[in-house]
Amino acid sequence: MAIWVETERTGGLSRQLRSSMAYVLLIVSIIPILVGYAWLLIATFSYRTEGLLPKDAEGHVGGWTLANWAFVTDPLIWRVTLNSLLIALAMVVGVGLASSLAGYALSRMNFVGRRGFLSMTLILHAFPSVTLLISIFFVLQAISALPGFGNIFGYNTVGGVALVMVSLDLPLGIWLMKGFFDNISWDMERAALIDGASRFRVWWEIIMPQIRPGLAALAIFTFLTGWSAYLIPATFTIGTKVSNLPVYINYLMSETSPTNWNQIAAVGLFQMIPILVFFFFTQEKLLNIYSGGTKGGV
Amino acid sequence: MRVELRNLCKRWGNVVGVDNISLEIKDSEFVALLGPSGCGKTTTLLMIAGIYKPTSGEILFDGRIVNHIPPKDRNIGMVFQSYALYPHMTVFENMAYPLKLQKVPKDEQRRRVQHVADMMGIGHLLDRKPGQLSGGQQQRVALGRALVKDPELLLFDEPLSNLDARLRLTMRGEIKRRQMELGITSIYVTHDQVEAMTMADRIAVIKDGKLQAYDTPDELYERPRTLFIAGFIGNPPMNLINGVEVVRDGEEYLARHQAFCLRVPAERGKHVAAKGEVILGIRPEDISLADDGQDGMRGEVYVVEPLGRDDLVNVELPGNTFIHFLADPALRLKPGTPVALCFNTEKVQFFDPRTERSLLWH
C-alpha cells in the first residue's frame, strides 16, 4: 500500500513537470505572434513606432494619434468592406450549398463517373490557383460577353470574383462534406425513406441536421478565406471600386510616395475586427466542432 | 399481407448477394431469415423494403408485383439493429415523423403516437432526445416508430443484437407478443438461431445467398435437411461424426465407427446402408451416460463446461473423436474420468459427406 502511494506521488510530480514544460514551450513559441499583434495595436494609434515604442515627430516616446484611422471617413473603405463581406458571404453560401449537395451525392449515390469525379476534385484541389489565373481570365471574359449574367458574374465584378473563389474552394468543401456524410449511418437514411420521406427531405430533414457542426466548420473556414482573399480579387478587379479590403491595403502602398505603415496597420486592424468579434462569440461553438458530431444521438 | 419472393437475385458486379431465393410468407406469419453474417439475409430484407432493387426476380405483396414501388409506398415498418433514430428529434418527433410525412392532422398524430408509446411503455419519455435513453428504450422507440403508421408488414434487421443478454430476452418476448396481438406479417433477420427458433413461425435458413431450408423450427430441429442446418440449428450444436459406415445385419442395422458400433433403428438405417462412409449426427441432449451393466461407448472426459442446469461435457473417444453431451452437474464429472455413453438411436441423423445433404430427409 505504502509503495503504491509513493509511486503515485512521484508519478504525479513528473506529470506536473511535463505539463508545465509543455506550457513553457507553448508560451515561448507564441511570443513572436503576440509581439506582432502588440505592434499592430500600438502602431495604429501612434505617429510612428520604434520597435514597440510609439514616437512623436521629435522622437520622444508618446505621440498618440487617431490620424491613422482617418480612412474610416472615406466612403471608399466602406465600399471595399462591403465587397469583402459580399465575397465572404457568397463563398459561405455557395461553397456550403454546393458541397453539401455534391458531398451527399458522392457519399450516398452510385452513378456513372463517380470515381472519376472524386479523383478529379482531389487533383483540382492540388492545383495552385496561381497557375490557373490566365485561363480563369479568359473564362471571365467569356462570361462578361453574356447578356445580363455577364454584368453580375463577369470580369471586374464582385460576382465574378466570388464565382472564381467559390469554384476554387469547392474541391476542399466537397471532400470535407463527403467525409461528414460518410460518417452518418445508412440505417438512419433507410429508416427515413421507409417512413415515407423523399430523397430531398431525407437530405434536408434527417441528414443535414446531423452534420451541422461540420457545416459550421466549413462555413467558418470559407468565410475567412473569402474575407481575406487577395490574389483573385487583385487579379480580376481593376481599380479599388469593386475590390476588397486586402486589395485596398495593397493600394495604400504607393510606389511613388513613402508608405505610411501605421495607416496600413490601422486598416489591417480594421479588417481583423469583425473576425475578432466573431471568434469572441463563437469560441465555444468552434471548440465543439471537433468533439460534437452525432455523438449526442445514436 | 402475404409476401412472396420469386427467384430473387441480387448481384453487384461479380459479387452475388442473394442467389435465386423463392419463398412465400402467409398473412400475419412471423418468418425469420436465419444465417451467418454476410449470407445475404439483410440484402433480402432491404429488397423487400425497397431500398435495394433486385437484379432479377420478383417481390409480390398480396399477389401484386412491387419491384418498382418505392419504399414509402409499400406501407412497411422497419426496425434496425442500430435503432436508426433521428438524434436531433425528440422521441415524439421521431415517432410522429412517418405520420407527419403522411400529412396526418396534428392532433391525430399526437393521439396515435401517445397510444403506441403507452403500449410500448415509453409514454413518459416522449420529450426526451434519443441520446438520453438507454439501449432498450431506444429500441422500443424504434419499434414504436415502425408500428405507429399501422404497417401491413414489419421488417426487423437484427433488432436485438445491440442489447445486453438480459434485455434481449425481455425484448424477444415483447416483440413476439406484439406481433401476435397485432397480427402484422413480420420478417425478422437474425444470425442468432435461438432468436429464430423462439420467435418465428417459420425459419428460412440462408447460406451464401441461397435458401437452404424453409420450415418450422421443429422441423428444422428434428429433420435437418443439410449438414449446415444440422450444425447451425440447436444449442449446443449437434455432434457430427465422420467416417461412419452403416451395414445391414440380418433384420438390424449397425453404424460402425472405429470408436463404436451402434444398433440403428431399421427405419433410419435402411436409408443409409451400403452408402459407404457417412456423417453421423447426434444432439448432445440425445446422449446419456450408460447405466450400470449396459454396454456403452467407452471414452474419457476431456473438458467440462458448467451451463448451470447441465454440464456440457466434451468426451474423447478412441481414434481422436470428440463428442459433446449434457450431463447432470450432480455427477461431478472431472477431466480424465472414464465414461460409457449411450446414444438415443431414435434421434440419429445421417448425412452424405459429398453432397452435405441428409440421407434421411429429402
Are both A168 and A224 inside the same structural domain? yes
pLDDT on residue A35: 92
**Residue-averaged pLDDT of chain A:** 83
Judged by average pLDDT, the poorest of A61-65, A115-119, B263-267 is: A61-65
**A242 pLDDT above the threshold of 70:** no
Cβ-defined contact of A194 to B102 (cutoff 8 Å): no
The DSSP output letter for A211 is T
Quickly count: other Cβ atoms within 10 Å of residue B244's Cβ: 24
pLDDT on residue A290: 54
Interface with B, mutate which of A185, A194, A295 (most B CBs under 10 A):
A194
The reply to whether A13 falls in a domain is: yes
Q: Give the alpha-carbon dihedral of A103, A108, A109, A115, to 10 degrees.
A: 60
d(CA B234, CA B196): 11
Which residues from B are below 8 Å from A202, CB to CB? none
d(CA A166, CA A222): 9
Q: Print the domain residue range for A25.
A: 2-65
Residue percentage of chain B with pLDDT more than 90: 59
pLDDT on residue A72: 83
pLDDT digits (tens, 9 = 90+) for A196-213: 999 899 999 999 998 888
**Residue-averaged pLDDT of chain B:** 90
pLDDT digits (tens, 9 = 90+) for A14-26: 888 888 999 999 9
pLDDT digits (tens, 9 = 90+) for B268-321: 888 888 788 899 999 999 998 887 767 778 889 999 999 888 899 999 988 888
Residue percentage of chain B with pLDDT more than 70: 100
Ramachandran area for residue B209 (φ above 0: left; ψ -120 to 50: alpha; else beta): left
For residue A208, the chain B residue with the least C-alpha distance is B88
Read off φ and ψ for residue B86, nearest 5 degrees: -90, 110
User: Strand locations in chain A, DSSP E?
Assistant: 48-50, 53-55
Cβ-defined contact of B98 to A297 (cutoff 8 Å): no
Per-residue confidence at A63, pLDDT binned at 50, 70, 90? confident
**A37 pLDDT above the threshold of 60:** yes
pLDDT on residue A238: 67
Q: Which residues contact A60 (CB under 8 A, 6 or more apart)?
A: none
For residue A188, the chain B residue with the least C-alpha distance is B84
**B116 pLDDT above the threshold of 70:** yes
d(CA A116, CA A112): 9
Are both A40 and A99 inside the same structural domain? no
pLDDT on residue A12: 64
The reply to whether A282 falls in a domain is: yes
Choosing from A65, A88, A113, the residue where a domain stops is A65
ipTM: 0.82
**A123 pLDDT above the threshold of 60:** yes
Cβ-defined contact of A194 to B80 (cutoff 8 Å): no
Count of domains forming chain A: 2
Cβ-defined contact of A187 to B87 (cutoff 8 Å): no
Residue percentage of chain A with pLDDT more than 90: 23
B239-351: which CATH architecture?
Beta Barrel (2.40)
**A295 pLDDT above the threshold of 70:** no
Per-residue confidence at A151, pLDDT binned at 50, 70, 90? confident
Q: Among B76, B83, B149, select the one facing A298 at the smallest CB separation.
A: B83
Nearest to A194 by CA among B76, B85, B151, B148: B76
Query: How far out from the chain centre does Cα A80 lie?
Result: 18
pLDDT on residue B163: 86
For residue B52, the chain A residue with the least C-alpha distance is A190
Which residues of A lie inside 8 Å of B (Cβ-Cβ)? 185, 187-188, 190-198, 201, 206, 209-210, 294-298
pLDDT on residue A255: 67
Are both A173 and A145 inside the same structural domain? yes
B3-232: which CATH architecture?
3-Layer(aba) Sandwich (3.40)
pLDDT on residue B325: 92
d(CA A189, CA A94): 25
Q: Which of B20-34, B255-269, B297-311, B314-328 has the highest mean pLDDT?
A: B20-34
Domains B3-232 and B239-351 share a fold: no
**B243 pLDDT above the threshold of 90:** no
Are both A279 and A132 inside the same structural domain? yes
pLDDT on residue A6: 47
d(CA A186, CA B271): 50
Q: Which residue has the higher pLDDT, A208 or A60?
A: A208
Choosing from A65, A82, A107, the residue where a domain stops is A65
3-state secondary structure (DSSP) of residue A169: helix
Are both A35 and A108 inside the same structural domain? no
The reply to whether A151 falls in a domain is: yes
Cβ-defined contact of B98 to A195 (cutoff 8 Å): yes
Burial of residue A219 (CB within 10 Å: 0-12, 13-18, 19+) is middle
The reply to whether A298 falls in a domain is: no
pLDDT on residue A150: 79
Which residues from B are below 8 Å from A194, CB to CB? 49-51, 71-72, 74, 76-78
Whether the CB of B130 is below 8 Å from some CB of chain A: the reply is yes
Whether the CB of B82 is below 8 Å from some CB of chain A: the reply is yes
Q: Omega into B236 within 30° of 0, i.e. cis?
A: yes
Give A214→chain B minimum CA distance, Å.
15
The reply to whether A297 falls in a domain is: no
Residue B176 cell numbers, joined = 413476439
Q: Which residues contact B75 (CB under 8 A, 6 or more apart)?
A: B149, B151, B152, B153
Query: How far out from the chain centre does Cα A142 lie?
Result: 29
From residue A281, how far is each of A275, B218, B228, B338 by CA, in Å? 10, 67, 63, 79
Give B9→chain A minimum CA distance, Å.
19
**A31 pLDDT above the threshold of 90:** yes
Averaged pLDDT, B177-206: 92
Averaged pLDDT, A155-159: 84
Cβ-defined contact of B84 to A197 (cutoff 8 Å): no
Q: Give the alpha-carbon dihedral of A238, A241, A245, A248, to 10 degrees.
A: 70
pLDDT digits (tens, 9 = 90+) for B152-169: 999 999 999 888 888 888
pLDDT on residue A204: 92
Nearest to A43 by CA among A55, A32, A33, A59: A55
Are both A103 and A212 inside the same structural domain? yes
d(CA B200, CA B176): 8
Averaged pLDDT, A65-76: 83
Are both A124 and A250 inside the same structural domain? yes
Q: What is the 3-state secondary structure (H, E, C) of B194-260?
A: HHHHHHCCEEEEEECCEEEEEECHHHHHHCCCEHHHHHHCCCCCCEEEEEEEEEEECCEEEEECCCC
Are both A117 and A6 inside the same structural domain? no
Are both A147 and A255 inside the same structural domain? yes
First to last CA, chain A: 42
Are both A59 and A173 inside the same structural domain? no
pLDDT on residue A286: 66
Whether the CB of B121 is below 8 Å from some CB of chain A: the reply is no
Averaged pLDDT, B66-88: 92
pLDDT on residue A3: 45
**A54 pLDDT above the threshold of 90:** no
Per-residue confidence at A297, pLDDT binned at 50, 70, 90? very low
Residue percentage of chain A with pLDDT more than 70: 88
Q: Which residue has the higher pLDDT, B258 or B117?
A: B117
Are both A187 and A43 inside the same structural domain? no
Instruction: Give A7-29 as a DSSP string.
Output: HHHHHHHHHHHHHHHHHHHHHHH
Per-residue confidence at B234, pLDDT binned at 50, 70, 90? confident
Cβ-defined contact of B71 to A193 (cutoff 8 Å): yes
pLDDT on residue B5: 94
Per-residue confidence at A2, pLDDT binned at 50, 70, 90? very low
Choosing from A65, A86, A119, the residue where a domain stops is A65
The reply to whether A22 falls in a domain is: yes
Per-residue confidence at A292, pLDDT binned at 50, 70, 90? very low
pLDDT on residue A294: 41
Are both A98 and A54 inside the same structural domain? no
Domain boundaries of chain B, sorted by first residue: 3-232, 239-351
**A60 pLDDT above the threshold of 80:** no
d(CA A33, CA A48): 20
